[in-house]
Amino acid sequence: MYKCKITVLKKTLQEDLVKEYVTDPDYGPCPVFEEGQTFLTTGIFGNDIPEGFCHMAWQALVMPVNVLIGGGKVLGFDDVHIACCTDGNRPVIFKLERVLA
């Protein structure tokens, strides 16, 4: 049985987009994650959202997580996959790794 280890690699801020499209003066990088933070998927099949994980980010990661947990390779060649959340103003970049449960 496999699970997926999720590591926060980088928090980014697209300052040009924020300047043009965001009106909140205190808007900054993602407030949910910290670089270096790690999570392990949970559940009987190893593919449930980790506790405290952002639900929007999970929606972006759930498919490659399921591929890795199922023993597959993301895009046909990745045992480790780099992915990001869908927040275009402040995307967070993650490393996804298949691990033994």
pLDDT tens for each residue of 55-73: 999 999 999 999 999 999 8
pLDDT tens for each residue of 3-19: 999 999 999 999 999 99
pLDDT of 78 above 80: no
Question: 39 forms bridges with which residues in the sheet?
Answer: 6
pLDDT of residue 54: 97
**What Rg do the C-alpha atoms of the chain give, in angstroms?**
15
pLDDT tens for each residue of 23-58: 999 999 999 999 999 999 999 888 899 999 999 999
- Using DSSP's 3-state secondary structure scheme, residue 44 falls into coil
CA nearest neighbour of 61 among 43, 39, 77: 39
pLDDT of 92 above 80: yes
Give me the domain span that covers residue 20: 2-100
What average pLDDT is seen over the chain?
A: 94
Total number of domains constituting the chain: 1
